[in-house]
Chain A
């Protein structure tokens, strides 16, 4: 019995698979199989398309279709932020003019929906280390790090509030003028937002102007850069352009009507109207 074990082992070794010409497979893509798909059903075949149904009639559902479920590739929300990140680099915004919500919306790539309780732009600090533009920008909300990134480059930032009515006029100015309505008067922010817009640390538009410079200096000390001096800028006029808290467009007062057809501005003369819109 024991004498058979070495024999079996030898037999195993002899018959074990080894590299021969038979056992070598051709390399992938060394040759291609020709698919012989019959195109005609003249001789009674079904051309490899099976019997009846969507396959044969070429009405198969689209790729990724899950049979009445929302397909997986459509469940992910779109986040097209990359467009908004390059507004200055691509020349969509002119840095020699003050940038506000109106100019940003006029680029046509930034959308705000006031009906969905959106109140404007929240400028975040993503890419703050790479930011090098000197701008005078007006947004609705900004973090401390964002303010630092803008002021480090000698720019200016203000945060301001628009109510939904004014927001609609600012976002789509042409649409507002087409309705033949006067430019609205921007009301004050609501009670719970007043503190933010009065705080010079947030560069609020209702903050005390004398305290703003102090806040700028304090932030520069905190982040380690030189506080901006707007009078020494190459274009000091850029930082002198200001809007009244009631005003929503540069150079246009509330209560004025702009006629696009006649290219004319119509102003009210009645004292009551002037008082209401200017107060």
Chain B
């Protein structure tokens, strides 16, 4: 901390010395001016005084400025457009000059025309507007068309539904018939099982659960028996029918003309 403090005090001292010097010089000049009589000499002296004063003030300002900023940043801080000596691409782009105008205004020296699109770009924009952007009227027309087409679709759908609804009573009746049939099949099945259960009870003297393996066994044997019986019956009926047919043929003949 000590070193910068010293530096500052030195600078302040320097400033005070310079200002004192300036004051002394002025007093001396004023005193000497009174003694001099010629106007031309005093004028020359005044000019010299002015130049000297400016020089001193410039030096004071230089001493006062302790920001440590470079030229570019100092200009930017004071609202003056900094001079740029760089070949970077961005620093020569339009967007950069636009930003410069926005930041420093008319003092930037940039022509404000840069802020709008160029003639060629405007033509492109106009072409996009003319050929590719739908107008308000077009959009409204399209909206109405969409609405009408949607309404038409809805109307057709409702008509279709109404047409199908006419078939509804028949379909319901068919469905109910189907259900009744299914219920009948179910009842006949259960009746069959009950019948076999009853047979089981009569045979063995006790009732069983229809899911028990004992009963299942009984039922399978019972069904096989039934099947065999049916087969036999069928055979017998078939034989009888064949015999009857033969009998008829013998009695009536083949029927052929000879």
Residue of A191, A206, A276 near B129 (CB, 8 A) is: A276
A180 contacts B102, C-beta separation under 8 Å:
yes
Residue of A181, A260, A272 near B122 (CB, 8 A) is: A272
- Measured between beta carbons, the chain A residues less than 8 angstroms from B101 are 180, 259
Cβ distance B3 to chain A, nearest Cβ, rounded Å: 37
Bound Cα distance A264, B134 (Å): 35
**Interface size, chain B (Cβ < 8 Å):** 29
- Measured between beta carbons, the chain B residues less than 8 angstroms from A178 are 99, 102-103
A181 contacts B98, C-beta separation under 8 Å:
yes
Residue from the set A206, A259, A266, A279 with the largest chain B CB neighbour count within 10 Å: A259
Residue of A180, A194, A264 near B98 (CB, 8 A) is: A180
B136 within 8 A of A: yes
Cβ distance B98 to chain A, nearest Cβ, rounded Å: 3
Q: A188-B139, A259-B101, A261-B107 are in contact. List 7 more A-B contacts (CB 8 A).
A: A178-B103, A179-B95, A179-B99, A194-B139, A194-B143, A266-B112, A266-B115
Cβ distance A171 to chain B, nearest Cβ, rounded Å: 18
Residue from the set A180, A206, A255, A264 with the largest chain B CB neighbour count within 10 Å: A180
**Interface size, chain A (Cβ < 8 Å):** 26
By DSSP majority rule, is chain B's interface helix, strand, loop, or mixed?
helix
For residues 61 through 89 of chain B, which have their beta carbon under 8 Å from a beta carbon of chain A?
79
- Measured between beta carbons, the chain B residues less than 8 angstroms from A262 are 105-106
Chain A residues close to B by CB (< 8 Å):
177-182, 187-188, 191, 194-195, 198, 206, 255, 257, 259-262, 264, 266, 268, 272-273, 276, 279
- Measured between beta carbons, the chain B residues less than 8 angstroms from A188 are 136, 139
B240 within 8 A of A: no
B102 contacts A182, C-beta separation under 8 Å:
no
Chain B residues close to A by CB (< 8 Å):
79, 95, 97-107, 112, 114-116, 119, 122, 125-126, 129, 133-134, 136, 139-140, 142-143
- Measured between beta carbons, the chain B residues less than 8 angstroms from A279 are 129
A182 contacts B116, C-beta separation under 8 Å:
yes
A257 contacts B112, C-beta separation under 8 Å:
yes
Cβ distance A238 to chain B, nearest Cβ, rounded Å: 28
Chain B residue at minimum C-beta to C-beta distance from A180 = B98
Chain A residue at minimum C-beta to C-beta distance from B119 = A272
Residue of A257, A260, A272 near B115 (CB, 8 A) is: A257
- Measured between beta carbons, the chain B residues less than 8 angstroms from A261 are 79, 102-105, 107
Knowing A194-B143, A198-B140, A268-B116, the reply to whether A259 touches B126 (Cβ < 8 A) is no
Cβ distance B228 to chain A, nearest Cβ, rounded Å: 75
- Measured between beta carbons, the chain A residues less than 8 angstroms from B122 are 272-273, 276
B139 contacts A259, C-beta separation under 8 Å:
no
B99 contacts A191, C-beta separation under 8 Å:
no
Interface pairs (6), CB distance under 8 Å: A177-B102, A180-B98, A182-B115, A191-B142, A264-B105, A266-B115
- Measured between beta carbons, the chain A residues less than 8 angstroms from B133 are 187
Chain B residue at minimum C-beta to C-beta distance from A206 = B136
B126 contacts A276, C-beta separation under 8 Å:
yes
Cβ distance A207 to chain B, nearest Cβ, rounded Å: 12
- Measured between beta carbons, the chain B residues less than 8 angstroms from A182 are 115-116
Cβ distance A235 to chain B, nearest Cβ, rounded Å: 33
Chain B residue at minimum C-beta to C-beta distance from A275 = B126
Cβ distance A192 to chain B, nearest Cβ, rounded Å: 10
Cβ distance B113 to chain A, nearest Cβ, rounded Å: 9
- Measured between beta carbons, the chain B residues less than 8 angstroms from A181 are 98, 115
- Measured between beta carbons, the chain B residues less than 8 angstroms from A260 are 102
- Measured between beta carbons, the chain B residues less than 8 angstroms from A264 are 105
Residue from the set A181, A182, A187, A260 with the largest chain B CB neighbour count within 10 Å: A181
Chain B residue at minimum C-beta to C-beta distance from A178 = B102
- Measured between beta carbons, the chain A residues less than 8 angstroms from B134 are 191
Chain B residue at minimum C-beta to C-beta distance from A277 = B116
Bound Cα distance A105, B90 (Å): 31
Chain A residue at minimum C-beta to C-beta distance from B108 = A261
- Measured between beta carbons, the chain A residues less than 8 angstroms from B104 are 261
Cβ distance A7 to chain B, nearest Cβ, rounded Å: 59
Cβ distance A163 to chain B, nearest Cβ, rounded Å: 12
Knowing A187-B133, A266-B115, the reply to whether A195 touches B143 (Cβ < 8 A) is yes
- Measured between beta carbons, the chain A residues less than 8 angstroms from B115 are 180-182, 257, 266
Bound Cα distance A260, B100 (Å): 12
Bound Cα distance A57, B106 (Å): 63
